Structure 1
Protein backbone atom coordinates (compact mmCIF):
# COMPACT_ATOMS: atom_id res chain seq x y z
CA UNK A 1 0.00 0.00 0.00
CA UNK A 2 1.14 3.54 -0.77
CA UNK A 3 -0.50 6.61 0.72
CA UNK A 4 -0.17 10.20 -0.46
CA UNK A 5 -0.98 12.54 2.41
CA UNK A 6 -1.68 16.17 1.40
CA UNK A 7 1.07 16.06 -1.22
CA UNK A 8 1.95 19.42 -2.78
CA UNK A 9 4.61 20.16 -5.38
CA UNK A 10 5.70 23.59 -6.55
CA UNK A 11 8.12 24.56 -9.32
CA UNK A 12 9.29 28.20 -9.26
CA UNK A 13 6.22 29.36 -7.33
CA UNK A 14 3.93 27.45 -9.70
CA UNK A 15 1.86 24.85 -7.86
CA UNK A 16 1.70 21.64 -9.92
CA UNK A 17 0.18 19.37 -7.26
CA UNK A 18 -2.21 20.59 -4.59
CA UNK A 19 -3.12 18.54 -1.50
CA UNK A 20 -3.23 15.13 -3.18
CA UNK A 21 -4.64 12.75 -0.60
CA UNK A 22 -5.22 9.15 -1.67
CA UNK A 23 -4.35 5.51 -1.04
CA UNK A 24 -3.06 3.07 -3.66
CA UNK A 25 -4.09 -0.42 -2.66
CA UNK A 26 -1.99 -3.58 -2.50
CA UNK A 27 -2.79 -6.35 -4.97
CA UNK A 28 -4.74 -3.98 -7.21
CA UNK A 29 -4.11 -1.98 -10.35
CA UNK A 30 -4.36 1.69 -9.36
CA UNK A 31 -4.66 3.98 -12.37
CA UNK A 32 -3.97 7.72 -12.53
CA UNK A 33 -5.64 9.52 -15.43
CA UNK A 34 -5.77 13.13 -16.55
CA UNK A 35 -4.94 15.45 -19.39
CA UNK A 36 -1.34 16.19 -20.36
CA UNK A 37 0.01 18.73 -17.89
CA UNK A 38 -2.47 17.77 -15.18
CA UNK A 39 0.30 16.68 -12.80
CA UNK A 40 0.00 12.89 -12.92
CA UNK A 41 3.59 12.29 -14.08
CA UNK A 42 4.90 14.71 -11.45
CA UNK A 43 2.98 12.74 -8.81
CA UNK A 44 4.51 9.48 -10.04
CA UNK A 45 8.00 11.00 -9.89
CA UNK A 46 7.35 12.28 -6.37
CA UNK A 47 6.32 8.80 -5.28
CA UNK A 48 9.59 7.25 -6.48
CA UNK A 49 11.75 10.13 -5.25
CA UNK A 50 12.71 11.66 -8.60
CA UNK A 51 11.04 14.85 -7.35
CA UNK A 52 10.94 16.02 -3.74
CA UNK A 53 7.50 16.94 -2.45
CA UNK A 54 7.14 20.57 -1.38
CA UNK A 55 4.92 19.48 1.48
CA UNK A 56 3.02 16.39 2.55
CA UNK A 57 4.14 12.77 2.87
CA UNK A 58 4.51 9.67 0.72
CA UNK A 59 4.00 6.56 2.86
CA UNK A 60 5.17 3.12 1.76
CA UNK A 61 3.11 0.96 4.12
CA UNK A 62 4.25 2.40 7.49
CA UNK A 63 7.47 3.94 6.14
CA UNK A 64 7.53 7.68 5.43
CA UNK A 65 9.46 7.63 2.15
CA UNK A 66 9.53 11.44 2.02
CA UNK A 67 11.50 11.61 5.28
CA UNK A 68 14.16 9.02 4.35
CA UNK A 69 17.78 9.88 3.65
CA UNK A 70 19.24 9.08 0.22
CA UNK A 71 20.89 5.96 1.62
CA UNK A 72 17.62 4.79 3.20
CA UNK A 73 15.75 5.49 -0.04
CA UNK A 74 18.23 3.35 -1.94
CA UNK A 75 17.25 0.41 0.24
CA UNK A 76 13.54 1.13 -0.24
CA UNK A 77 13.99 1.41 -4.03
CA UNK A 78 15.05 -2.24 -4.15
CA UNK A 79 11.37 -2.96 -3.51
CA UNK A 80 10.31 -0.87 -6.52
CA UNK A 81 9.88 -1.93 -10.14
CA UNK A 82 9.53 0.72 -12.85
CA UNK A 83 8.20 0.49 -16.40
CA UNK A 84 9.09 3.68 -18.25
CA UNK A 85 7.21 5.20 -21.17
CA UNK A 86 8.73 3.69 -24.30
CA UNK A 87 10.30 0.86 -22.30
CA UNK A 88 13.66 2.64 -21.81
CA UNK A 89 15.67 -0.48 -22.58
CA UNK A 90 19.45 -0.23 -22.97
CA UNK A 91 20.16 -0.42 -26.71
CA UNK A 92 23.71 -1.61 -26.10
CA UNK A 93 22.56 -4.61 -24.03
CA UNK A 94 20.80 -7.79 -25.09
CA UNK A 95 17.37 -8.76 -23.81
CA UNK A 96 19.07 -10.92 -21.19
CA UNK A 97 21.47 -8.12 -20.30
CA UNK A 98 18.58 -5.71 -19.73
CA UNK A 99 16.84 -8.08 -17.33
CA UNK A 100 20.12 -8.85 -15.55
CA UNK A 101 20.84 -5.14 -14.97
CA UNK A 102 18.92 -4.71 -11.65
CA UNK A 103 20.15 -8.10 -10.45
CA UNK A 104 23.77 -7.06 -11.08
CA UNK A 105 23.19 -3.69 -9.42
CA UNK A 106 21.28 -4.67 -6.31
CA UNK A 107 21.91 -8.33 -5.44
CA UNK A 108 24.73 -10.59 -4.33
CA UNK A 109 23.40 -13.54 -6.30
CA UNK A 110 25.80 -15.86 -8.08
CA UNK A 111 25.97 -15.63 -11.87
CA UNK A 112 23.99 -18.86 -12.13
CA UNK A 113 21.29 -17.55 -9.77
CA UNK A 114 21.00 -14.29 -11.70
CA UNK A 115 20.65 -16.11 -15.01
CA UNK A 116 18.02 -18.41 -13.52
CA UNK A 117 16.05 -15.42 -12.25
CA UNK A 118 16.35 -13.54 -15.57
CA UNK A 119 15.16 -16.57 -17.50
CA UNK A 120 12.27 -17.09 -15.09
CA UNK A 121 11.15 -13.47 -15.57
CA UNK A 122 11.42 -13.72 -19.36
CA UNK A 123 9.37 -16.92 -19.38
CA UNK A 124 6.80 -15.29 -17.10
CA UNK A 125 6.19 -12.57 -19.70
CA UNK A 126 6.06 -15.19 -22.48
CA UNK A 127 9.43 -14.43 -24.06
CA UNK A 128 11.44 -17.49 -25.11
CA UNK A 129 14.62 -17.77 -27.20
CA UNK A 130 15.17 -14.01 -27.35
CA UNK A 131 17.89 -13.72 -24.68
CA UNK A 132 20.68 -12.81 -27.08
CA UNK A 133 18.71 -10.47 -29.30
CA UNK A 134 19.00 -6.68 -28.94
CA UNK A 135 15.99 -4.36 -28.43
CA UNK A 136 16.25 -3.16 -32.05
CA UNK A 137 15.73 -6.75 -33.21
CA UNK A 138 12.38 -7.29 -31.50
CA UNK A 139 8.93 -5.70 -31.84
CA UNK A 140 7.58 -2.85 -29.72
CA UNK A 141 5.28 -5.21 -27.83
CA UNK A 142 8.17 -7.55 -27.07
CA UNK A 143 10.25 -4.60 -25.88
CA UNK A 144 7.49 -3.71 -23.40
CA UNK A 145 7.48 -7.29 -22.13
CA UNK A 146 11.26 -7.15 -21.66
CA UNK A 147 10.73 -3.93 -19.68
CA UNK A 148 8.17 -5.74 -17.50
CA UNK A 149 10.55 -8.69 -17.00
CA UNK A 150 13.26 -6.25 -15.89
CA UNK A 151 10.82 -4.47 -13.57
CA UNK A 152 9.87 -7.69 -11.76
CA UNK A 153 13.40 -9.11 -11.60
CA UNK A 154 13.85 -8.04 -7.97
CA UNK A 155 10.39 -9.33 -7.02
CA UNK A 156 9.13 -5.81 -6.15
CA UNK A 157 6.45 -4.87 -3.66
CA UNK A 158 5.61 -1.77 -5.70
CA UNK A 159 5.31 -1.43 -9.49
CA UNK A 160 5.14 1.95 -11.23
CA UNK A 161 4.12 2.12 -14.90
CA UNK A 162 4.32 5.34 -16.92
CA UNK A 163 2.13 5.04 -20.03
CA UNK A 164 2.99 1.35 -20.53
CA UNK A 165 0.86 1.14 -23.70
CA UNK A 166 2.40 4.15 -25.42
CA UNK A 167 3.01 3.45 -29.11
CA UNK A 168 1.30 0.04 -29.14
CA UNK A 169 -1.61 -1.13 -31.28
CA UNK A 170 -4.86 -1.93 -29.39
CA UNK A 171 -4.39 -5.71 -29.41
CA UNK A 172 -0.81 -5.56 -28.11
CA UNK A 173 -1.84 -2.90 -25.59
CA UNK A 174 -4.51 -5.26 -24.25
CA UNK A 175 -1.93 -8.04 -23.89
CA UNK A 176 0.36 -5.74 -21.88
CA UNK A 177 -2.56 -4.59 -19.70
CA UNK A 178 -3.56 -8.16 -18.91
CA UNK A 179 0.03 -9.13 -18.14
CA UNK A 180 0.44 -6.25 -15.67
CA UNK A 181 -2.88 -7.18 -14.07
CA UNK A 182 -1.88 -10.86 -13.78
CA UNK A 183 1.47 -10.02 -12.17
CA UNK A 184 -0.19 -7.59 -9.74
CA UNK A 185 -2.52 -10.29 -8.46
CA UNK A 186 0.00 -13.14 -8.63
CA UNK A 187 2.67 -11.34 -6.58
CA UNK A 188 0.31 -9.12 -4.53
CA UNK A 189 2.01 -5.95 -5.78
CA UNK A 190 0.88 -2.36 -5.28
CA UNK A 191 0.71 -1.31 -8.94
CA UNK A 192 0.33 2.33 -10.01
CA UNK A 193 -0.20 3.18 -13.67
CA UNK A 194 -0.25 6.55 -15.42
CA UNK A 195 -2.30 6.31 -18.59
CA UNK A 196 -4.31 8.23 -21.20
CA UNK A 197 -5.81 5.02 -22.53
CA UNK A 198 -9.45 4.60 -21.56
CA UNK A 199 -9.35 1.02 -22.87
CA UNK A 200 -6.82 0.29 -20.14
CA UNK A 201 -8.96 2.04 -17.56
CA UNK A 202 -12.07 0.04 -18.42
CA UNK A 203 -10.16 -3.23 -18.74
CA UNK A 204 -7.96 -3.31 -15.63
CA UNK A 205 -8.78 -0.25 -13.47
CA UNK A 206 -9.46 -1.58 -9.98
CA UNK A 207 -9.10 1.95 -8.64
CA UNK A 208 -8.96 5.09 -10.78
CA UNK A 209 -7.93 8.59 -9.73
CA UNK A 210 -8.59 11.53 -12.05
CA UNK A 211 -6.26 14.52 -11.64
CA UNK A 212 -7.38 17.89 -12.98
CA UNK A 213 -5.20 21.01 -12.76
CA UNK A 214 -3.01 19.43 -10.08
CA UNK A 215 -5.88 18.37 -7.82
CA UNK A 216 -7.54 15.05 -7.12
CA UNK A 217 -10.82 15.71 -8.89
CA UNK A 218 -12.42 12.28 -8.69
CA UNK A 219 -11.65 8.71 -7.68
CA UNK A 220 -13.52 5.42 -7.81
CA UNK A 221 -13.67 2.13 -9.69
CA UNK A 222 -13.82 1.69 -13.47
CA UNK A 223 -17.54 0.94 -13.09
CA UNK A 224 -18.13 4.18 -11.19
CA UNK A 225 -16.81 6.19 -14.14
CA UNK A 226 -19.83 5.34 -16.25
CA UNK A 227 -22.19 6.77 -13.62
CA UNK A 228 -20.14 9.85 -12.76
CA UNK A 229 -21.73 13.29 -12.98
CA UNK A 230 -18.32 14.99 -12.71
CA UNK A 231 -18.22 17.31 -15.77
CA UNK A 232 -14.40 17.46 -16.07
CA UNK A 233 -14.09 13.67 -15.83
CA UNK A 234 -16.86 13.14 -18.37
CA UNK A 235 -15.20 15.60 -20.74
CA UNK A 236 -11.87 13.76 -20.40
CA UNK A 237 -13.46 10.34 -20.92
CA UNK A 238 -15.44 11.51 -23.96
CA UNK A 239 -12.38 13.18 -25.52
CA UNK A 240 -10.30 10.04 -24.92
CA UNK A 241 -12.95 7.81 -26.49
CA UNK A 242 -13.18 10.10 -29.51
CA UNK A 243 -9.39 10.03 -29.89
CA UNK A 244 -9.46 6.21 -29.80
CA UNK A 245 -12.19 6.12 -32.46
CA UNK A 246 -10.21 8.46 -34.74
CA UNK A 247 -7.05 6.39 -34.24
CA UNK A 248 -8.87 3.15 -35.10
CA UNK A 249 -10.39 4.81 -38.19
CA UNK A 250 -6.96 5.93 -39.44
CA UNK A 251 -5.52 2.47 -38.78
CA UNK A 252 -8.27 0.92 -40.89
CA UNK A 253 -7.52 3.38 -43.74
CA UNK A 254 -3.83 2.40 -43.63
CA UNK A 255 -4.73 -1.27 -43.96
CA UNK A 256 -6.80 -0.71 -47.11
Structure 2
Protein backbone atom coordinates (compact mmCIF):
# COMPACT_ATOMS: atom_id res chain seq x y z
CA UNK A 1 0.00 0.00 0.00
CA UNK A 2 1.12 3.54 -0.76
CA UNK A 3 -0.26 6.46 1.19
CA UNK A 4 0.16 10.15 0.37
CA UNK A 5 -0.71 12.59 3.13
CA UNK A 6 -1.26 16.31 2.52
CA UNK A 7 1.27 16.62 -0.29
CA UNK A 8 2.27 20.16 -1.27
CA UNK A 9 4.72 20.83 -4.10
CA UNK A 10 5.75 24.13 -5.68
CA UNK A 11 8.04 25.23 -8.48
CA UNK A 12 9.40 28.78 -8.70
CA UNK A 13 6.86 30.03 -6.21
CA UNK A 14 3.88 28.43 -7.98
CA UNK A 15 2.04 25.75 -6.03
CA UNK A 16 1.41 22.73 -8.27
CA UNK A 17 0.06 20.23 -5.70
CA UNK A 18 -2.25 21.63 -3.02
CA UNK A 19 -2.68 19.37 0.00
CA UNK A 20 -3.25 16.15 -1.98
CA UNK A 21 -3.95 12.97 0.00
CA UNK A 22 -4.67 9.47 -1.33
CA UNK A 23 -4.39 5.79 -0.42
CA UNK A 24 -3.43 3.27 -3.11
CA UNK A 25 -4.13 -0.35 -2.20
CA UNK A 26 -2.43 -3.47 -3.57
CA UNK A 27 -4.11 -5.86 -5.97
CA UNK A 28 -6.11 -3.17 -7.79
CA UNK A 29 -5.42 -0.73 -10.60
CA UNK A 30 -5.18 2.77 -9.13
CA UNK A 31 -5.53 5.52 -11.74
CA UNK A 32 -4.56 9.19 -11.55
CA UNK A 33 -6.43 11.23 -14.14
CA UNK A 34 -6.65 14.90 -15.06
CA UNK A 35 -6.05 17.43 -17.80
CA UNK A 36 -2.58 18.34 -19.02
CA UNK A 37 -1.07 20.69 -16.46
CA UNK A 38 -3.39 19.50 -13.68
CA UNK A 39 -0.51 18.23 -11.55
CA UNK A 40 -1.02 14.49 -12.03
CA UNK A 41 2.48 13.91 -13.45
CA UNK A 42 4.06 15.96 -10.66
CA UNK A 43 2.09 13.85 -8.18
CA UNK A 44 3.34 10.60 -9.71
CA UNK A 45 6.94 11.83 -9.77
CA UNK A 46 6.60 12.96 -6.16
CA UNK A 47 5.40 9.50 -5.16
CA UNK A 48 8.52 7.84 -6.58
CA UNK A 49 10.89 10.49 -5.24
CA UNK A 50 11.80 12.17 -8.54
CA UNK A 51 10.44 15.38 -6.97
CA UNK A 52 11.00 16.20 -3.31
CA UNK A 53 7.76 17.46 -1.77
CA UNK A 54 7.62 20.75 0.13
CA UNK A 55 5.51 19.20 2.85
CA UNK A 56 3.48 16.09 3.54
CA UNK A 57 4.26 12.40 3.86
CA UNK A 58 4.58 9.49 1.44
CA UNK A 59 4.46 6.05 3.02
CA UNK A 60 5.24 2.69 1.45
CA UNK A 61 3.61 0.06 3.64
CA UNK A 62 3.99 2.37 6.65
CA UNK A 63 7.61 3.25 5.79
CA UNK A 64 8.05 7.04 5.60
CA UNK A 65 9.68 7.50 2.20
CA UNK A 66 9.86 11.29 2.51
CA UNK A 67 12.11 11.25 5.56
CA UNK A 68 14.17 8.08 5.24
CA UNK A 69 17.90 8.32 4.45
CA UNK A 70 19.11 7.70 0.91
CA UNK A 71 20.40 4.19 1.67
CA UNK A 72 16.91 3.14 2.76
CA UNK A 73 15.31 4.88 -0.20
CA UNK A 74 17.47 2.80 -2.51
CA UNK A 75 16.02 -0.35 -0.96
CA UNK A 76 12.46 0.88 -1.50
CA UNK A 77 13.24 1.90 -5.08
CA UNK A 78 14.42 -1.64 -5.76
CA UNK A 79 10.86 -2.71 -4.91
CA UNK A 80 9.47 -0.44 -7.64
CA UNK A 81 8.79 -1.22 -11.28
CA UNK A 82 8.48 1.64 -13.77
CA UNK A 83 6.72 1.73 -17.13
CA UNK A 84 7.61 4.98 -18.88
CA UNK A 85 5.50 6.84 -21.43
CA UNK A 86 7.80 6.11 -24.37
CA UNK A 87 8.79 2.61 -23.15
CA UNK A 88 12.36 3.95 -22.64
CA UNK A 89 14.03 0.83 -23.98
CA UNK A 90 17.75 0.92 -24.73
CA UNK A 91 18.14 0.93 -28.51
CA UNK A 92 21.58 -0.67 -28.36
CA UNK A 93 20.39 -3.64 -26.27
CA UNK A 94 18.39 -6.63 -27.44
CA UNK A 95 14.94 -7.34 -26.05
CA UNK A 96 16.36 -9.89 -23.62
CA UNK A 97 19.15 -7.54 -22.53
CA UNK A 98 16.60 -4.78 -21.91
CA UNK A 99 14.54 -7.03 -19.64
CA UNK A 100 17.66 -8.33 -17.95
CA UNK A 101 19.02 -4.83 -17.30
CA UNK A 102 17.62 -4.34 -13.76
CA UNK A 103 18.71 -7.87 -12.86
CA UNK A 104 22.23 -7.09 -14.07
CA UNK A 105 22.24 -3.85 -12.09
CA UNK A 106 20.70 -4.89 -8.78
CA UNK A 107 21.23 -8.63 -8.29
CA UNK A 108 24.16 -10.99 -7.92
CA UNK A 109 22.44 -13.83 -9.72
CA UNK A 110 24.37 -15.94 -12.19
CA UNK A 111 23.93 -15.08 -15.86
CA UNK A 112 21.88 -18.22 -16.51
CA UNK A 113 19.51 -17.27 -13.67
CA UNK A 114 19.11 -13.74 -15.00
CA UNK A 115 18.41 -15.05 -18.49
CA UNK A 116 15.87 -17.50 -17.12
CA UNK A 117 14.06 -14.71 -15.24
CA UNK A 118 14.10 -12.46 -18.32
CA UNK A 119 12.61 -15.23 -20.44
CA UNK A 120 9.95 -15.92 -17.81
CA UNK A 121 8.93 -12.25 -17.80
CA UNK A 122 8.82 -12.13 -21.60
CA UNK A 123 6.58 -15.19 -21.68
CA UNK A 124 4.37 -13.58 -19.04
CA UNK A 125 3.68 -10.66 -21.37
CA UNK A 126 3.08 -13.06 -24.27
CA UNK A 127 6.34 -12.42 -26.07
CA UNK A 128 8.46 -15.33 -27.26
CA UNK A 129 11.17 -15.75 -29.88
CA UNK A 130 12.01 -12.05 -29.87
CA UNK A 131 14.91 -12.23 -27.40
CA UNK A 132 17.63 -11.33 -29.88
CA UNK A 133 15.72 -8.62 -31.72
CA UNK A 134 16.34 -4.93 -31.05
CA UNK A 135 13.58 -2.44 -30.08
CA UNK A 136 13.63 -0.93 -33.58
CA UNK A 137 12.75 -4.34 -35.01
CA UNK A 138 9.48 -4.77 -33.09
CA UNK A 139 6.18 -2.87 -33.03
CA UNK A 140 5.22 -0.14 -30.56
CA UNK A 141 2.83 -2.48 -28.77
CA UNK A 142 5.54 -5.12 -28.42
CA UNK A 143 7.92 -2.48 -27.09
CA UNK A 144 5.38 -1.65 -24.37
CA UNK A 145 5.17 -5.33 -23.43
CA UNK A 146 8.96 -5.56 -23.28
CA UNK A 147 8.90 -2.51 -20.99
CA UNK A 148 6.34 -4.25 -18.76
CA UNK A 149 8.49 -7.39 -18.68
CA UNK A 150 11.45 -5.26 -17.59
CA UNK A 151 9.32 -3.50 -14.98
CA UNK A 152 8.39 -6.81 -13.31
CA UNK A 153 11.82 -8.42 -13.63
CA UNK A 154 12.70 -7.71 -10.00
CA UNK A 155 9.28 -8.91 -8.83
CA UNK A 156 8.30 -5.44 -7.55
CA UNK A 157 5.79 -4.65 -4.84
CA UNK A 158 4.90 -1.36 -6.52
CA UNK A 159 4.33 -0.66 -10.22
CA UNK A 160 4.15 2.85 -11.71
CA UNK A 161 2.88 3.42 -15.26
CA UNK A 162 3.12 6.84 -16.90
CA UNK A 163 0.69 7.14 -19.83
CA UNK A 164 1.19 3.47 -20.83
CA UNK A 165 -1.09 3.76 -23.88
CA UNK A 166 0.55 6.80 -25.38
CA UNK A 167 1.05 6.34 -29.12
CA UNK A 168 -0.83 3.04 -29.33
CA UNK A 169 -3.86 2.19 -31.43
CA UNK A 170 -7.07 1.49 -29.43
CA UNK A 171 -6.89 -2.30 -29.83
CA UNK A 172 -3.28 -2.51 -28.65
CA UNK A 173 -4.04 -0.08 -25.81
CA UNK A 174 -6.71 -2.46 -24.50
CA UNK A 175 -4.19 -5.33 -24.57
CA UNK A 176 -1.72 -3.26 -22.52
CA UNK A 177 -4.42 -2.19 -20.04
CA UNK A 178 -5.59 -5.77 -19.51
CA UNK A 179 -2.00 -6.97 -19.09
CA UNK A 180 -1.31 -4.32 -16.44
CA UNK A 181 -4.47 -5.31 -14.58
CA UNK A 182 -3.68 -9.03 -14.82
CA UNK A 183 -0.16 -8.78 -13.42
CA UNK A 184 -1.36 -6.38 -10.71
CA UNK A 185 -3.75 -9.01 -9.40
CA UNK A 186 -1.41 -11.94 -10.04
CA UNK A 187 1.44 -10.43 -8.01
CA UNK A 188 -0.77 -8.37 -5.66
CA UNK A 189 1.18 -5.25 -6.54
CA UNK A 190 0.27 -1.69 -5.69
CA UNK A 191 -0.12 -0.32 -9.21
CA UNK A 192 -0.53 3.37 -10.03
CA UNK A 193 -1.33 4.42 -13.59
CA UNK A 194 -1.08 8.04 -14.70
CA UNK A 195 -3.41 8.51 -17.70
CA UNK A 196 -5.83 10.75 -19.57
CA UNK A 197 -7.20 7.85 -21.63
CA UNK A 198 -10.88 7.49 -20.80
CA UNK A 199 -10.94 3.99 -22.32
CA UNK A 200 -8.41 2.97 -19.65
CA UNK A 201 -10.51 4.66 -16.98
CA UNK A 202 -13.61 2.68 -17.96
CA UNK A 203 -11.72 -0.55 -18.62
CA UNK A 204 -9.44 -0.92 -15.60
CA UNK A 205 -10.34 1.99 -13.29
CA UNK A 206 -10.89 0.16 -10.02
CA UNK A 207 -9.75 3.17 -7.98
CA UNK A 208 -9.54 6.60 -9.58
CA UNK A 209 -8.14 9.92 -8.34
CA UNK A 210 -9.12 13.01 -10.36
CA UNK A 211 -6.76 15.97 -9.97
CA UNK A 212 -7.81 19.45 -11.05
CA UNK A 213 -5.60 22.54 -10.68
CA UNK A 214 -3.38 20.66 -8.25
CA UNK A 215 -6.19 19.51 -5.97
CA UNK A 216 -7.91 16.16 -5.57
CA UNK A 217 -11.41 16.95 -6.84
CA UNK A 218 -12.94 13.47 -6.96
CA UNK A 219 -12.25 9.87 -5.98
CA UNK A 220 -14.12 6.70 -6.89
CA UNK A 221 -14.30 3.81 -9.37
CA UNK A 222 -15.24 3.46 -13.02
CA UNK A 223 -18.69 2.35 -11.84
CA UNK A 224 -19.13 5.64 -9.96
CA UNK A 225 -17.70 8.05 -12.49
CA UNK A 226 -20.76 8.60 -14.69
CA UNK A 227 -22.91 9.25 -11.63
CA UNK A 228 -20.74 12.07 -10.35
CA UNK A 229 -22.12 15.60 -10.12
CA UNK A 230 -18.60 17.05 -10.01
CA UNK A 231 -18.60 19.71 -12.77
CA UNK A 232 -14.84 19.66 -13.38
CA UNK A 233 -14.80 15.87 -13.61
CA UNK A 234 -17.77 15.85 -15.99
CA UNK A 235 -16.13 18.48 -18.18
CA UNK A 236 -13.04 16.26 -18.36
CA UNK A 237 -14.93 13.02 -19.06
CA UNK A 238 -17.40 14.35 -21.58
CA UNK A 239 -14.94 16.44 -23.57
CA UNK A 240 -15.20 13.97 -26.47
CA UNK A 241 -18.32 13.38 -28.57
CA UNK A 242 -18.11 9.64 -27.87
CA UNK A 243 -18.47 10.01 -24.12
CA UNK A 244 -21.12 12.71 -24.46
CA UNK A 245 -23.19 10.13 -26.33
CA UNK A 246 -22.73 7.68 -23.45
CA UNK A 247 -23.89 10.35 -21.00
CA UNK A 248 -27.01 11.04 -23.09
CA UNK A 249 -27.98 7.35 -22.86
CA UNK A 250 -27.73 7.27 -19.06
TM-score normalized by the length of structure 2: 0.96
Give the SS at the match of 1:23: strand
CA displacement, residues 70-129 of structure 1 (integer Å, 9 cap, x when unaligned)? 221111111000000010101111100100100011111111110000000000000000
1:211 equivalent in structure 2: 211
1:136 equivalent in structure 2: 136
Give the SS at the match of 2:23: strand
- Residue 242 of structure 1 and its aligned partner are, at CA, apart by 3.4
The residue correspondences of 1:146-185 to structure 2 (distance < 5 A) are: 146-185=146-185
Give the SS at the match of 1:184: helix
1:230 equivalent in structure 2: 230
- Residue 243 of structure 1 and its aligned partner are, at CA, apart by 7.8
The structure richer in helix per residue is: 1
> Separation in 2 of the partners of 1:182 and 1:167?
22
Give the SS at the match of 2:4: strand
2:210–2:219 contact (8 Å) kept in structure 1: yes
Give the SS at the match of 2:128: coil
> Separation in 1 of the partners of 2:15 and 2:152?
34
Aligned residues: 244
1:118 partnered with 2:118: yes
> Separation in 2 of the partners of 1:164 and 1:243?
21
2:237–2:243 contact (8 Å) kept in structure 1: no
1:52 partnered with 2:52: yes
2:87 equivalent in structure 1: 87
> Separation in 2 of the partners of 1:134 and 1:3?
38
Moved over 2 A (4+): 241-245
> Separation in 1 of the partners of 2:48 and 2:243?
30
1:78 equivalent in structure 2: 78
Give the SS at the match of 1:67: coil
- Residue 220 of structure 1 and its aligned partner are, at CA, apart by 0.4
1:30 equivalent in structure 2: 30
1:242 equivalent in structure 2: 241
CA displacement, residues 162-202 of structure 1 (integer Å, 9 cap, x when unaligned)? 00000000000000000000000000000000001000000
